[in-house]
Chain A
Amino acid sequence: MIVSDKIWPALDYSRVPFRLYHDPEVYEREQRQIFAGPVWNYLGLEAEIPNPGDFRATCIGEMPIIFNRDPAGAVRAFVNRCAHRGALVRRELAGNAREHICIYHQWCYGLDGRLTAIPFRRGIRGQGGLDPSFDMAAHGLRWVRVDTIGGAIFGTLAPDAEPLADFLGPPILDQIERLFARPVQVLGYNRQRIRANWKLYAENTRDNYHASLLHEFLLTFGLDRSTQKGGVRMDRRHRHNITWAEADSDSPDFAREAYSNARIRNDYLSLQEPDLVAFRRERDDSLNLVVTSVFPSSVFVQISNSLAIRQIRPRGVDEFEVFQTMFGYADDPPEMTHHRLRQANLVGPAGLVSMEDGEAIEIAHRATKPDPDRASIIELGGAGVISDRDYRVTDVPLRGFWSYYAELLGIEPAGAVR
């Protein structure tokens, strides 16, 4: 086995070997030890399944998952796979049903995941069928443990995972509660397939340094600058991260001077429709940018008044999908919904401040592949100890990601920082 605790050039994860983005064996281990490991994955929203029988398809890593509301109103989730021959039980992405029936041999499951009916179980005229000893109760859909925060549904495949609130930790839990303090309304979805390893995206959402350099729109049109008051905040184990910034917390002149050595035009072009970047305060804080990354693959995003949840869905070692749910609040006046729909232009595959990620991540994947023993550099904001920062030119949370990644993959070197 090439990948072991010897793979790390530095104990503070300031160097990441390119092999980790390209090795198929690493990818297989991630599916078992990370996605199916002791982590909580965002699955969907209660608002998507308001009525008994409502269901939606999602995934944990590559594992197909369905979640539904049962007749008693409880949210339940299962691996979307028939106990019989392993086919998808539910092929539609969403709908309403009284039961889940596999098309292959019509094995039938209740909304609680129990196996309820098997055609020709007793055969025909006493011939064929299953042996009477076959235990239906032991062959339901594989159960996924679920918990919710303000209507956001999380699931874990590990029965022994710590409770969701403990997994997230106080600052992360607070942010998610802040986002879901009011009942939500889904405005739609967008989907994007990027030909690169999923971890390049997990790093990207924790990388404060790239934002105003790669996404020039942020600076050119004065939406977001690294000179604003902001920083990064992690959980105790440094696996999750909140990247945050406050509106109106710097001056244009200070920013112009700070960016004078970056090859970015900073003469602040103006938009004909300034509403596109106008921040309307809707809470008792000034936060106009909050990107909350939950290990391994869930991201909760507030950019100005656009709100979204991103799920990173790996599709093999060389491709992943970003599945993004855009939302507002059920009690938004029509005018606020309109504002959110306009600001949805900022995010997603065509987003004015996000489209570049698809390109940056693909070119990183492409150029790292042929040279697996070389490594990338993660030293902005300093090497060594992993800790919160109250400034923005930092990529320290990437090292936090790799630290917990190494622990779960069983390749954490002795003496490594956490």
Chain B
Amino acid sequence: MTVDRALIHDLLAEYGALLDAARYEEWLGLFAGECRYSIVPRDNHERGMPAGLIFCDSRAMLEDRIMALREANKYNIHSDRHLIGLPRLTGGDGIAIEAPFAVFQTDQEGASHLFATGIYRDRLTMAAGCLKIRDKLIILDTFAVPTLLATPL
């Protein structure tokens, strides 16, 4: 399938911007009706071990995650800043891309630090003229997680 690279760039830009603005419900709108989202430590991934830090293999689980974040979970008060690198088309079934990312966290006193870096492996799909995320696998280089991981990468 061929796809306009500008659409992929727009999707990734929107993805980072919505997370950084804590607009998680709108962020969910970037995913397809049937979707998966998981964060796997790189060490596990390379050893063929399946356990993830977050493993949502249905849209319902991903929506539950966001509801829990809003209604129940407590975490370090911070803001996120996503820097998403150039996507590379990896071919295969459907539209597959990978893109490196870094997420910096800033605390309420203005101190920033690198919170996480790794790579996105996304499978995308066209739905009614819109590009959506069908499967997002985040391979986390920074698997010694600083403090805790609450807001999505």
The chain A residues found within 8 Å of chain B, CB to CB, are 93-94, 186-195, 214-217, 220-221, 265, 269, 271-273, 276, 321, 326, 337, 341-342, 344-345, 348-350, 352, 355-360, 362
* Known A-B contacts A187-B49, A188-B41, A350-B150; A216 and B145 likewise in contact (beta carbons under 8 Å): no
Q: Which A-chain residue is minimally distant from B147 (CB atoms)?
A: A358
| A–B Cβ pairs within 8 angstroms, 10 of them | A187-B51, A191-B143, A193-B145, A193-B146, A216-B71, A271-B60, A342-B61, A349-B145, A356-B74, A362-B76
Inter-subunit contact B148/A359 (CB<8 Å): yes
Residues 134-153 (chain B) with a chain A CB within 8 angstroms: 143-150
* Known A-B contacts A344-B52, A350-B150, A358-B147; A272 and B60 likewise in contact (beta carbons under 8 Å): yes
Inter-subunit contact B57/A342 (CB<8 Å): yes
Inter-subunit contact B49/A276 (CB<8 Å): no
Residues of A close to B144: CB separation below 8 A: 191-193, 321
Inter-subunit contact B74/A326 (CB<8 Å): no
* Chain B proximity of A72: nearest CB distance (Å): 26
1/0 per position for B30-45, CB-CB distance to A under 8 A?
Answer: 0000000001110110
* Chain A proximity of B73: nearest CB distance (Å): 6
How many angstroms from the CA of A326 to the CA of B53 in the assembled complex?
A: 11
B56 part of interface (Cβ distance < 8 Å):
yes
* Known A-B contacts A220-B71, A321-B144; A276 and B61 likewise in contact (beta carbons under 8 Å): yes
Inter-subunit contact B53/A221 (CB<8 Å): no
* Known A-B contacts A220-B72, A221-B68, A342-B61; A326 and B149 likewise in contact (beta carbons under 8 Å): no
1/0 per position for B54-74, CB-CB distance to A under 8 A?
Answer: 111110110111011001111
* Known A-B contacts A341-B52, A344-B51, A350-B150; A273 and B76 likewise in contact (beta carbons under 8 Å): no
Q: Which of B57, B67, B68 has the most CB of A within 10 A?
A: B68
Closest 3 CB pairs of A and B: A188-B51, A358-B148, A272-B60
* Known A-B contacts A272-B63, A272-B64; A192 and B51 likewise in contact (beta carbons under 8 Å): no
Residues of A close to B43: CB separation below 8 A: 93, 189
Residue from A188, A191, A276, A352 within 8 A of B145 (CB atoms): A191
Residues of A close to B76: CB separation below 8 A: 358-359, 362
How many angstroms from the CA of A356 to the CA of B75 in the assembled complex?
A: 6
Inter-subunit contact B53/A348 (CB<8 Å): yes
How many angstroms from the CA of A265 to the CA of B72 in the assembled complex?
A: 9
* Known A-B contacts A216-B74, A341-B50; A192 and B148 likewise in contact (beta carbons under 8 Å): yes
A217-B68, A360-B74 known; 19 new pairs, CB 8 Å cut-off, are: A94-B47, A191-B144, A192-B145, A193-B146, A217-B73, A265-B71, A271-B67, A272-B61, A273-B58, A273-B64, A341-B52, A342-B55, A344-B52, A345-B54, A345-B55, A350-B39, A355-B150, A357-B148, A359-B75
Inter-subunit contact B149/A355 (CB<8 Å): yes
The chain B residues found within 8 Å of chain A, CB to CB, are 39-41, 43-44, 47, 49-58, 60-61, 63-65, 67-68, 71-76, 143-150
How many angstroms from the CA of A265 to the CA of B70 in the assembled complex?
A: 12
How many angstroms from the CA of A341 to the CA of B146 in the assembled complex?
A: 22
Inter-subunit contact A349/B148 (CB<8 Å): yes
Q: Which A-chain residue is minimally distant from B152 (CB atoms)?
A: A350
* Chain B proximity of A406: nearest CB distance (Å): 30
Residues of B close to A321: CB separation below 8 A: 144
Residues of B close to A220: CB separation below 8 A: 68, 71-72
Residues of A close to B74: CB separation below 8 A: 214, 216, 356, 359-360
How many angstroms from the CA of A193 to the CA of B71 in the assembled complex?
A: 25
Residues of B close to A221: CB separation below 8 A: 68, 72
* Known A-B contacts A188-B49, A216-B72, A349-B53; A273 and B148 likewise in contact (beta carbons under 8 Å): no
Residues of B close to A355: CB separation below 8 A: 73, 75, 148-150
Residue from A191, A350, A356, A362 within 8 A of B54 (CB atoms): A350
* Known A-B contacts A189-B51, A359-B74; A352 and B41 likewise in contact (beta carbons under 8 Å): no
Q: Which B-chain residue is minimally distant from A214 (CB atoms)?
A: B74
Residues of B close to A195: CB separation below 8 A: 147
How many angstroms from the CA of A93 to the CA of B65 in the assembled complex?
A: 32
* Chain A proximity of B143: nearest CB distance (Å): 6
Inter-subunit contact A341/B149 (CB<8 Å): no
How many angstroms from the CA of A193 to the CA of B146 in the assembled complex?
A: 5
Inter-subunit contact B50/A350 (CB<8 Å): no
* Known A-B contacts A216-B73, A273-B60; A362 and B51 likewise in contact (beta carbons under 8 Å): no
Residues of B close to A189: CB separation below 8 A: 41, 43-44, 49, 51
Residue from B44, B60, B61, B148 within 8 A of A350 (CB atoms): B148
* Known A-B contacts A190-B41, A359-B76; A341 and B49 likewise in contact (beta carbons under 8 Å): no
* Known A-B contacts A349-B149, A355-B73, A359-B148; A188 and B52 likewise in contact (beta carbons under 8 Å): yes
Q: Which of A191, A342, A350 has the most CB of B within 10 A?
A: A350
* Chain B proximity of A349: nearest CB distance (Å): 4
* Chain A proximity of B75: nearest CB distance (Å): 6
Inter-subunit contact A350/B68 (CB<8 Å): no
How many angstroms from the CA of A326 to the CA of B40 in the assembled complex?
A: 13
Inter-subunit contact A341/B41 (CB<8 Å): no
